[in-house]
Structure 1
Amino acid sequence: MKINWGTGLVIGMVLFISFILFFVIKISTQNKYDFDLVTEDYYQKELVFQKEMDDQTNSHTLKSKVKGKRTAEGWLITFPEEVDYSKVSGTVLMYRPSNKKLDFKMPLKLSSSTLLIPDEKLVGGRWNTIVHWSIDGEDYLFKDEIIY
């Protein structure tokens, strides 16, 4: 039996469409291919966006900025020297955009002007560091994207 070009074209298109459908079904049914939203409460976070902008603006009014750097022990966050670290309170969120199971939040209690996030808690890849902190009733926000 001879196959002409029209029949070959139809067979090729059917095979290509089957190939694409196979991968769409495979990705949508297996749990290891998560395609969640960036955060669960995305719309609620949008409602407090102006507060975050105000807190970031407050951070820019300080003489020196909060800084983060990688050390042998982990990720080191250094607070400005003019801030009395004993009065600082807040939270540190280490957010992993690619896997929400690795996200963690820790309270901000300083015994010096630095905070160390241990190396054991950080898996290699991209992390977003979000530090919400306040001192004397004034709120501040520090955000940093790192590749660890």
Structure 2
Amino acid sequence: MKVNWGTGIVLAFIGFISFILYFVVRMGMDDRANHDLVTDSYYKKELAYQDEIDAEANAAANNAQLTIKKMEEGVKVFFPKEFNTDKITGKVSLYRPSNRHLDFNFPISLSKTHLLIPDNRLLDGRWDITIEWKYKGKTFLHKEKISY
């Protein structure tokens, strides 16, 4: 059987399209490939991004910068000494980029000018820590990436 050049081009296109479709279907069905968004409420968080920018600017303007240090017992978050610890409220969020099941949040409760995140909650690796706190009606935000 003799194949002319027109038939060869059509067969090449069909072969190429079949090859591409095979990989598209294979990757769509593969359980190892995770196609989820980074967070569950990604779009809702994106709408509130200006509030985060304002809170970070508020922290810089009011000299409300936090200091995060790794210690043997865990990670200590030091709040400014000028602020009354009884009036500080908020939450701490730790996000693990490699495994969302390790993420956790907890409220801020201070007895001194620092907050301790225990060592037993943190596995080795990278963590993104976000501290959103309020003091006398003003909202502050601190974001940092730490490796533990």
Q: How many angstroms does 1:112 deviate by?
A: 0.7
Give per-residue Cα distances to partners, 1:29-61, cap 9 Å, x unaligned. Answer: 33x553432111111011101111010011102
- Aligned to 1:57, the other structure's residue is in SS state helix
Work out the CA distance in 2 between the residues paired with 1:42 and 1:84. Answer: 34
For residues 11-90 of structure 1, the aligned pairs below 5 Å read 21=23, 25=26, 28-30=29-31, 33-63=33-63, 65-90=65-90
Unaligned runs of 5+ in 2: 1-18
User: What is the TM-score when the length of structure 1 is the normalising length?
Assistant: 0.79
Q: How many residues align?
A: 132
Identical-pair percentage: 39
Runs of 4+ in 1 over 3 A off after TM superposition: 24-28, 32-35
Unaligned runs of 5+ in 1: 1-16
Indicate how the Cα distance of structure 1 residues 33 and 123 shifts in structure 2: closer, same or farther if over 3 A, else same. farther
For 2:30, give the aligned amino acid.
Answer: T
Structure exhibiting the larger radius of gyration computed from Cα positions: 2
For 2:72, give the aligned amino acid.
Answer: A
Work out the CA distance in 2 between the residues paired with 1:102 and 1:111. Answer: 26
User: What is the TM-score when the length of structure 2 is the normalising length?
Assistant: 0.79
- Aligned to 2:115, the other structure's residue is in SS state strand
Give per-residue Cα distances to partners, 1:44-103, cap 9 Å, x unaligned. Answer: 011101111010011102335201010000111000111111100000000111111000
